[in-house]
Amino acid sequence: MVPLGQVFEKLARVVRQVSREYDKQVNLVITGAETEIDKLIVEELSDPLMHIIRNSVDHGIEDRDGRMRLGKPAVGTIALNAYQKGNHVVIKIEDDGAGMDPEVFRAAVIRKKLLSADEAVLLSDKELFAYVFMAGFTTKETANAISGRGMGMDIVKSNIAKLGGVVDITSEVGIGTILTITLPITLAIIRVLILEVASRVMCIPLASVEEVIVLEETLVRRIDGREVMTHRGASLPILRLAELFGFDRKQPDENVPKKDIDRATSRAVAEGDARVLSARAFVVVASVASRRTGIVVDHLVGQQDIVIKALGATLRRVRGIAGATDLGDQRVGLVLDVAALVEETGSSGDRTPVAMQGATG
Ligand SMILES: Nc1ncnc2c1ncn2[C@@H]1O[C@H](COP(=O)(O)OP(=O)(O)OP(=O)(O)O)[C@@H](O)[C@H]1O
Ligand SMILES: [Mg+2]
């Protein structure tokens, strides 16, 4: 763990240099430099932060005359603020400049033929600001060698995403822009098994997986309204993820004739695809301490090292989900909270042999 001040010092130099370049007067105010974060994260932060600061001077802060005309203080301010919040570090970069004008964004979206005028009219301010993160997007009409290529914020976003972080924008015309970066305090990388449930991608930490077996529906019984199967001489509570999360069970696969599934399977095998398509379901036997649960999934996709990301406010309240992860190839997977899932199936998930459970076993 190292203090963020290390990278902030570099940024002070960048502000001095860039404001001279653009002939603008800027005062950089730093707070929270003592906030600590994983050394590996700090090393990856200097490029994204430098780009954001450069944008603040370039697009945000107006020149002296412009600011005077608007009745703003002649010298612009960029405030860099860091603080810890739970398991995360928040870095805010705030400028008191021109802000982002939704109408300028709308015009740029149309000019670049990303959307038709009819479509662009329907976008909210928030949807328009999201274009900041698109590769090649700029509101500048002409580009030169050092600026206006729109190569910047897209890279900032993907670099922050690789660290398990997220970037948010709030901006108001004439008032300024705030970029908020939320990062995990450490780069805890975990290995997961990637699964598919009702066509959704989910991940389960490999450390909690004991084994994976094919689901034999005939071996599943109901005890006190809960599904249980016998596995290795003990009863194993069954948890169907699609039901638990209320996923739509109708899968594309269901409409595909068996013949086609078989053909797809042999093709998948022939192509060495880790995901062997199959009409059957699997049971991932997961454990926490001495308690086990059989988690029913549709497909096994493979294994991967991931960084867990924090979830937005809505998903944070969903039991059984620990976080999300960027799987590359533009897919996002939800990471299961095995401890919560095991708890969900009640206390019958211990290794008590079936014979010892009397009549219910
Ligand atoms: N602090 C800011 N204030 C106002 N607008 C901003 C700010 N930061 C970014 N923008 C807007 O976001 C757009 C995209 O930024 P990005 O850095 O990706 O491209 P660019 O700065 O236009 O080009 P380049 O970085 O190649 O010079 C900018 O064109 C600008 O309209
Ligand atoms: Mg830029």
CB of residue 293 inside a 6 A radius of ligand 1? no
Cβ 112 under 6 angstroms from ligand 1: no
Atom of ligand 1 nearest to the CA of 105: 31
Cβ 147 under 6 angstroms from ligand 1: yes
Q: Check pocket membership of 137 for ligand 1, CB cut-off 6 A.
A: yes
C-alpha 193 – ligand 1 centre gap (Å) = 38
User: CA–CA separation, 41 vs 6, rounded Å?
Assistant: 12
Q: What is the pLDDT of residue 85?
A: 84
Q: What is the pLDDT of residues 26-49, one digit of tens each?
A: 999 999 999 999 888 998 999 999
- The pLDDT assigned to 279 comes to 42
pLDDT at 144: 64
Reported as a pLDDT band with limits 50, 70 and 90, residue 1 is confident
Nearest 5°: the CA angle 165, 167, 172 is 165
- Give residue 353 CA to ligand 2 midpoint distance, Å: 64
Q: Residue 177: CB within 6 Å of ligand 1?
A: yes
Model confidence over 68-85: pLDDT tens digits? 999 999 999 999 999 998
280-338 per-position pLDDT tens digit: 799 999 988 778 999 999 999 999 888 887 777 777 777 888 888 888 777 889 999 88
Nearest to 186 by CA among 41, 309, 44: 41
Task: Please tell me the predicted confidence (pLDDT) of residue 61.
Answer: 97
For 348-360, what is each residue's pLDDT tens digit? 444 433 333 333 3
Closest among 234, 209, 352 to 286, alpha carbons compared: 209
Q: Which of 52, 223, 54, 67 is nearest to 133 (CA)?
A: 52
Ligand 1 lined by 55 (C-beta under 6 Å): yes
**Closest-approaching ligand to the CA atom of 26:** 1
Our measurement of the distance from residue 171's CA atom to the centroid of its chain's CA atoms, rounded to an integer in Å, reads: 22
Residues bordering ligand 2, an ion, CB closer than 5 Å:
55, 152
pLDDT the model gives residue 90 = 94
According to the model, what pLDDT value does residue 294 have? 96
**C-alpha 47 to ligand 1 mean position (Å):** 15
Question: Which two three-digit tokens encode residue 223?
Answer: 């005890």
Give the pLDDT score at 265: 47
Task: Print burial letters for 323-361: b (CB count within 10 Å at least 16), e (below 16).
Answer: bbbbbeeeeebbbbbbeebbbebeebbeeeeeeeeeeee
The three-point CA angle 321-88-325 to 5° equals: 40
Please choose, from the candidates 22, 44, 174, the residue with its C-alpha nearest in 3D space to the C-alpha of residue 98. 174
Enumerate the H helices of the chain as residue ranges.
5-21, 39-55, 64-69, 102-111, 117-120, 125-129, 153-162, 241-244, 258-270, 313-316, 338-344
Q: Quick one: pLDDT band at residue 187, thresholds 50, 70, 90?
A: confident
Q: For ligand 1, pick from 28, 55, 105 the residue to mutate: most ligand atoms within 8 Å of CB.
A: 55
222 band by pLDDT with thresholds 50, 70 and 90: very high
Say if residue 64's pLDDT is above 90. yes
Computed over every residue of the chain, the mean pLDDT equals: 84
Ligand lying closest to the C-alpha of residue 133 = 1
* Residue of 53, 92, 132, 179 to mutate, ligand 1, most atoms within 8 A of C-beta: 132
Would you say the CB of residue 184 lies under 6 angstroms from ligand 1?
no
pLDDT band at 147 (very low <50, low <70, confident <90, very high): low
Q: Closest residue (by CA) to atom 3 of ligand 1? A: 60
Q: What is the pLDDT of residue 178?
A: 97
Q: Where are the beta strands (DSSP E) in the chain?
A: 2-3, 26-31, 36-37, 76-85, 88-95, 166-172, 176-184, 189-197, 200-205, 209-214, 220-223, 226-231, 234-240, 282-288, 291-297, 299-307, 321-326, 332-336
Q: Is the CB of 361 under 6 A from ligand 1?
A: no
3-state secondary structure of 122: coil
pTM of the full structure = 0.61
C-alpha 56/C-alpha 53 separation (Å) is: 5
Ligand 1 pocket check for 139: Cβ under 6 Å: yes
| Residues 349, 291: Cα–Cα separation, whole Å | 5
Instruction: List, for residues 230-271, the tens digit of each pLDDT value.
Output: 998 889 999 999 988 888 765 444 444 444 444 544 554 455
**Residues 4-24, mean pLDDT to the nearest whole number:** 94
52 alpha carbon to ligand 2 midpoint, in Å? 7
- 99 CA from centroid of ligand 1 (Å): 11
Q: Whose CA is nearest to atom 22 of ligand 1?
A: 138
**Residue 100: its pLDDT value, please?**
96
Nearest to 277 by CA among 285, 267, 286, 290: 267
* Binding site membership of 48 for ligand 1 (Cβ less than 6 Å): no
pLDDT of residue 332: 87
pLDDT in tens, 269-281: 455 444 444 447 9
Beta bridge partners of 29: 79
Task: State which amino acid sits at residue 137.
Answer: F
CA 130 to ligand 2 center in whole angstroms: 14
